């Protein structure tokens, strides 16, 4: 839900920062203000902004002062964080206003009663980025985690103060189909009689529909079917603007909007249908990772990324392994990308089966997991680009306890949003007990790299054989290969192709794409990865995971030309 008409104070910029090695800041009263000459830029992870902070996964304190004009007095005020963590605790003017766990979804706190109007205010934020087995995703130390990406900490995304009237729109839920069906429901906070005005505008902002609906039990909704709408499609991503105004006592007191697309998604006879047409998802798994800024990817870099993906012929990506920023997904809506939106529950390398069983059956963990997927769905369910939810990455779902966690996550999301299929990225092959619960089967393969190393053909035969077995078990479910790839150090060449060379990566991707795209039960291929990204230190990584077909700075490897040629031969719509 976008709120361009609401007054805002943007709090991005330079903040003071203080490292709290002993977690003594709360006892010492840092929340009342602290002395520090160190600065950090928001939005960005703190880790790479100072070499002395690199490698630190612990507690840091942020603070900044800001002025609130007296004109805003009488309005409701909310402090909004688009993404920070892992655990964020917030104080305003020395008063605790709230806490949030998880780095990748938006959260907000009502600060109406603690704002000083016509005066300076002090905002203090405690970030707890310690690595722990009871967190999502889990780990034991900065270089001993169960996932293969760097555990950045800090205020990764925008922070701002937003003002509304005392009566306001709290949320917006939208459902569409490509045939013109539109359902829109506004959640309203108002103690007075009110109504909502719903307006739909086309790309030129011409009003093509308007309806009014009363507020009943905190809701106001409309349902209609419109003629002659332009559907949202990967090759023609037409976006409309839905505006909602809240009217109280004949005055418009609040207004929000959403960019929407008329798009249908379905699973029929083992195929993925967009607007009743079978599609093939070709693209990448990605990461939000960039030098110095860490988990924050600047808008200009995102624009370059999307043009590079489109020029290669990609039409899809997965938000591995967490929900991406609003800016990231706004571009997906605009560029026509088909997005598999993934939760932050990544369990690729649990230390043992006993650890996995305990983790998956821990009631506290389960509650956190359900809350995190709920926040993800509620934040992004109106997007036409989001065509599928991925609940987990590489979970040990050959174990009953973890399969049960997957079942509960599927059940929870279906209640929140029954319009989209659900999947997860599996690496347990035919032994995976949770494949029965999802609509689409997603498989990760690295045969020819982590095993069968140096022998691409042998690895490919194994991957094809295992995929065929899974298709026999679930013939009515589409299969996507959500990860396959090989590391390549840019500038390292070899003939014949040897591991770590650009040639080996190019040949690995060529053979996997050629063979898997021929299988009629395969409905998507996502290369791992779009670009190199930072990982924890270990003996099998050279600072980065180098499976990107672009470097971390977005320079191409040899694979780019190979993938572009192959993707050009795979149409988006399958006959």
Report DSSP state, residue 556.
B
Query: Tokens 């739909």 appear where?
Result: 200
* Residue 25 vs residues 16, 53, 126, 142: alpha-carbon distances, Å: 14, 18, 9, 22
Contact 198, 176 (CB under 8 A): no
The catalytically annotated residue of 257, 375, 394, 503 is 394
Contact 7, 163 (CB under 8 A): yes
Segment (H or E) for 354: helix 353-361
Phi/psi of residue 511, nearest 5 degrees: -70, -40
**Sign of the Cα pseudo-torsion (47, 48, 49, 51, in order):** positive
Contact 40, 62 (CB under 8 A): yes
**For residues 132 and 49, what is the distance between their CA atoms, to the nearest angstrom?**
24
Task: Residue 128: name the closest of 256, 239, 25 by CA.
Answer: 25
Structure tokens at 402: 């973890």
Residues 6+ apart with CB under 8 A from 462: 447, 452
**For residues 511 and 437, what is the distance between their CA atoms, to the nearest angstrom?**
31
Report DSSP state, residue 457.
H
**For residues 192 and 168, what is the distance between their CA atoms, to the nearest angstrom?**
11
99 strand-pairing partners = 89
Is 342 tagged catalytic?
Answer: no
The catalytically annotated residue of 243, 483, 503, 507 is 483
Is 394 tagged catalytic?
Answer: yes
Cα angle 441, 443, 449 (rounded to 5 degrees) comes to 175
Segment (H or E) for 306: helix 299-312
* Rg (the chain; Cα; Å): 24
Q: Report the 10 Å Cβ neighbour count for 216.
A: 11
Decide: residue 388, CB within 10 A, 0-12 exposed, 13-18 middle, 19+ buried: buried
Active site residues: 394, 483
């Amino acid at each position: 839900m976008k709120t361009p008409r609401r007054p805002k104070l943007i709090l991005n910029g330079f903040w003071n920062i203080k490292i709290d090695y002993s977690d003594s800041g709360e006892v010492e009263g840092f929340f009342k203000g602290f002395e520090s000459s160190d600065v950090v830029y928001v939005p960005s992870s703190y880790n790479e902004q100072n070499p002395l902070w690199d490698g630190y996964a612990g507690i840091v304190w942020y603070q900044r002062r800001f002025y609130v004009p007296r004109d805003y007095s009488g309005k409701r005020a909310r402090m909004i964080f688009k993404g920070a963590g892992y655990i964020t605790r917030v104080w305003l003017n020395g008063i605790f206003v709230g806490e949030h766990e998880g780095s990748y979804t938006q959260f907000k706190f009502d600060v109406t009663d603690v704002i000083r109007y016509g005066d300076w205010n002090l905002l203090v934020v405690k970030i707890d980025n310690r690595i722990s087995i009871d967190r999502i995703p889990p780990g034991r130390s900065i270089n001993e985690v169960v996932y293969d990406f760097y555990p950045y900490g800090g205020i990764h995304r925008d922070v701002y103060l937003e003002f509304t009237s005392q009566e306001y729109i709290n949320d917006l839920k939208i459902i569409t189909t490509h045939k013109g069906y539109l359902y829109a429901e506004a959640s309203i906070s108002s103690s007075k009689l009110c109504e909502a005005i719903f307006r739909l505008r086309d790309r030129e902002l011409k009003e093509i529909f308007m309806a009014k609906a009363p507020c009943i039990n905190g809701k106001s909704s409309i349902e209609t079917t419109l003629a002659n709408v332009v559907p949202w499609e990967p090759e023609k991503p037409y976006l409309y603007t839905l505006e909602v105004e809240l009217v109280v006592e004949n005055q418009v007191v609040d207004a929000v909007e959403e960019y929407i697309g008329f798009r249908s998604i379905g699973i029929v006879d083992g195929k993925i249908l967009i607007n009743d047409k079978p599609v093939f998802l070709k693209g990448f798994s990605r990461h939000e990772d960039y030098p110095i800024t860490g988990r924050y990817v600047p808008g200009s870099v995102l624009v370059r990324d999307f043009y590079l993906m489109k020029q290669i012929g990609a039409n899809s990506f997965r938000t591995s392994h967490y929900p991406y920023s609003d800016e990231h997904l706004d571009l997906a809506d605009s560029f026509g990308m088909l997005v598999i939106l993934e939760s932050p529950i990544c369990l690729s390398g649990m230390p043992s089966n006993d650890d996995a069983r305990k983790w998956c059956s821990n009631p506290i963990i389960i509650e956190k997991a359900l809350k995190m997927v709920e926040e993800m769905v509620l934040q992004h369910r109106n997007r036409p680009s989001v065509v599928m939810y991925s609940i987990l990455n590489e979970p040990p779902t050959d174990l009953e306890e973890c399969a049960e966690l997957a079942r509960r996550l599927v059940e929870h999301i279906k209640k929140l949003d029954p319009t989209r299929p659900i999947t997860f990225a599996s690496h347990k092959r035919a032994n995976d007990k949770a494949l029965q619960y999802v609509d689409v089967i997603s498989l990760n393969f690295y045969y020819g790299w982590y095993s069968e190393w140096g022998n691409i053909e042998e690895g490919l035969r194994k991957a094809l054989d295992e995929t065929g077995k899974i298709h026999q078990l679930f013939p009515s479910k589409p299969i996507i290969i959500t990860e396959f790839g090989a590391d390549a150090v840019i500038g390292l060449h070899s003939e014949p192709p040897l591991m770590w060379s650009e040639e080996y990566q190019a040949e690995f991707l060529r053979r996997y794409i050629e063979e898997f795209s021929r299988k009629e039960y395969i409905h998507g291929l996502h290369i791992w990865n779009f670009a190199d990204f930072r990982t924890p230190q270990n003996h099998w990584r050279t600072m980065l995971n180098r499976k990107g077909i672009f470097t971390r700075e977005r320079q191409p490897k040899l694979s780019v030309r190979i993938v572009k040629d192959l993707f050009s031969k795979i149409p988006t719509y399958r006959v």
